Structure 1
Amino acid sequence: MRFLFAQDSPYSQEGKRLSSYLSYIIPTISFDGSKTSKHQHDNTPIRSASGGYNYEDFEYQDVPSDNYVDCNPMCNSMDLSKDDNINEDHTSRRSSSSSDVFEEAKEQQTPHASKKSRLNLTDESTFISPELYEFLETCLPNIVKGRQWVLLYSTLKHGISLRTLIRKSAELSCPGLLIVGDMQGAVFGGLLDCPLKPTAKRKYQGTNQTFVFTTVYGQPRLFLPTGLNRYYYMCLTDILALGGGGNFALCLEEDLLTGTSGPSDTFGNLCLAHSPEFQLKNVELWGFSHASTFQS
């Protein structure tokens, strides 16, 4: 490396020490004034008009005045405490903000109303859970879908009588939903055309919008008409049955205490209850609010 000052300069010993120190900190300069050092600095020495460098200027420009710190103890303590307060305030705000965001997200994830409160029923049901309600709502014909469900008949409320069930169905001029259950916990039933009209002989009625369903296999399961026959349902004074061809898909006796179920050609269903013969826990018939005055 070559330094700006030559060793044979007529400076004093002190001057030599100073020149050696300055030579160490000043980048190596070639004779034509160009820099040759690999370590460049942002603040370059100011070159004088004579072609040399004014090192008095260089000594003061290398450190910006913004980097100086006021060493007054009182000022420092005040500034530090102020900074601490600011930091604490910012931390508190961040914590509060994070908490608010968390609570807001939690509120969005948690429904304001339970599923049970969203059931559009006029009365409580022995069988209808929120999941079953949502399932059956999607299965209903468009003419009644989305309407309020009205309990027309229940053995717990109106007594054990098929005749009473038939009479209460007269309040409907649209499909009605029959829901029953066995003592082992299965819930099943079907959609019927109402009002129910008992016939003197065994004669099938209904349309292809009739269906049967069950929960005995876990999730609710729907069985639609297969088209093999038109044995949709049969209504007598002593029997109410859905499906035919091989077996009734569902058959209720006059006393509404017992029933039977088996595979039918009409719906292609399996047994809807836990066993082909069963005792009934309850029988409900539901109508829909836009189709009747539903007088008690």
Structure 2
Amino acid sequence: MHALKDKVSQKLSNLFADSPSQSASPRFSNSDSPKAKLSSSVGKSLSSYFSFVVPQSGNDDELESCPPLPIRTDSYESIENCKPENGQSKAGTFISIDEDKESSKGGELAKGEIGNDYLEEVKQMRELTESSVFITANLCEFLQASLPNIVRGCKWFLLYSTLKHGISLRTLLRRSGELPGPCLLVAGDKQGAVFGALLECPLRPTPKRKYQGTSQTFLFTTIYGEPRIFRPTGANRYYLMCMNEFLAFGGGGNFALCLDEDLLKATSGPSETFGNECLASSTEFELKNVELWGFAHASQYLSS
């Protein structure tokens, strides 16, 4: 019995003798474990990251030398990948807009607006069979509304122009006979004023001073900024005087408008016939051009 106890005691003594003492260093420390290494590396990286982003206070030089944070662009989607779904854009998606494309769209829009304005002007002046030096879309619309009902909707035919037919009152009088009925005289000075008169054609010059015309005769001018019309006041019947030496409108004090035989110079002043003021930039002026327009349906003019 005692031998058995001694044998067990001996083995236990040997076992404790082989085990490392408590004072000896362990073979593996807690810091050497993989888990400890991972925690240490994470701590170091977090520490270095925060020290990189947020510099230590108290040193302005370090703050100024801090480089900017890198920006990730791989998470941004282009505008082609962000097409709306059911009328709505994708939630949480960053959409980059191409400024060049937007500017080109603006240019196309501006061109479209300009094109629309041009088409509108062409539409308003579709009655004119030729271009005019003076008649704009605004003036054409104004004159259309002022014309007698008998010629509304008719084509405008250029019977005479100093640019095409030369500077001669006699030529104007002769060409006024190509169309019967009302005709529109349009002239302008070199300062930009546009003015004229509606009269009955053909014009027939008289050997002596004699007024002619009808109450449908009227004058117009753009000297006031917007087109303005002057119709007979009823004070007299001095509508029109036509001679080989001059063509004049109105009377009772002054001619409202008087063109010389060369269609180079003219005068304008207040008249009782139309109740007008000066139609041009000054009472005496040089003419820039003179046009005479007749009204008829296309088939009527071509057959005449």
Instruction: Tell me which of 110, 114, 120 is aligned to 1:115.
Output: 120
Q: Which structure has the highest helix share of the two?
A: 2
The Cα of 1:289 is off from its aligned counterpart by: 2.2
Structure 2 counterparts to residues 274-289 of structure 1, below 5 A: 274-289=281-296
The aligned amino acid for 1:266 is: T
In structure 2, the residue corresponding to 1:115 is in which secondary structure? helix
Once the two structures are superposed, residues 48-85 of structure 1 have per-residue CA deviations (whole angstroms, 9 ceiling, x without a partner) of xxxxxxxxxxxxxxxxxxxxxxxxxxxxxxxxxxxxxx
Structure 2 counterparts to residues 116-265 of structure 1, below 5 A: 116-118=121-123, 119=125, 120-265=127-272
Please say if 1:91 is aligned against 2:87.
Answer: yes
The Cα of 1:232 is off from its aligned counterpart by: 0.4
The Cα of 1:172 is off from its aligned counterpart by: 1.7
In structure 1, the residue corresponding to 2:171 is in which secondary structure? helix
The aligned amino acid for 2:85 is: D
Change (3 A) 1:221 1:294: farther
d(CA) in 2 for partners of 1:168 and 1:218? 32
Change (3 A) 1:88 1:122: closer
d(CA) in 2 for partners of 1:284 and 1:168? 11
The aligned amino acid for 1:280 is: L
Stretches of structure 2 that go unaligned for 5 or more consecutive residues are 1-82, 90-111
Once the two structures are superposed, residues 234-266 of structure 1 have per-residue CA deviations (whole angstroms, 9 ceiling, x without a partner) of 100111001011000000000000000000000
The aligned amino acid for 1:91 is: G
Change (3 A) 1:268 1:293: same
d(CA) in 1 for partners of 2:149 and 2:171? 28
RMSD (Å), alpha carbons: 2.9
d(CA) in 2 for partners of 1:153 and 1:137? 19
The Cα of 1:285 is off from its aligned counterpart by: 0.1
Once the two structures are superposed, residues 10-42 of structure 1 have per-residue CA deviations (whole angstroms, 9 ceiling, x without a partner) of xxxxxxxxxxxxxxxxxxxxxxxxxxxxxxxxx
The Cα of 1:146 is off from its aligned counterpart by: 1.6
1:172·1:294 contact (CA, 8 Å) conserved in 2?
A: no
In structure 1, the residue corresponding to 2:196 is in which secondary structure? strand
d(CA) in 2 for partners of 1:91 and 1:162? 70
In structure 2, the residue corresponding to 1:293 is in which secondary structure? helix
d(CA) in 1 for partners of 2:84 and 2:280? 67
d(CA) in 1 for partners of 2:173 and 2:88? 69
The aligned amino acid for 1:201 is: K
The Cα of 1:112 is off from its aligned counterpart by: 8.0
Give the structure-1-normalised TM-score.
0.63
Stretches of structure 1 that go unaligned for 5 or more consecutive residues are 1-86, 94-106
d(CA) in 2 for partners of 1:255 and 1:129? 26
Once the two structures are superposed, residues 144-169 of structure 1 have per-residue CA deviations (whole angstroms, 9 ceiling, x without a partner) of 01211110000000000000000000
Provide the residue aligned with 1:293 in structure 2: 301
In structure 1, the residue corresponding to 2:289 is in which secondary structure? strand
d(CA) in 2 for partners of 1:294 and 1:158? 19
In structure 2, the residue corresponding to 1:170 is in which secondary structure? helix
Percent identity between the two aligned chains: 63
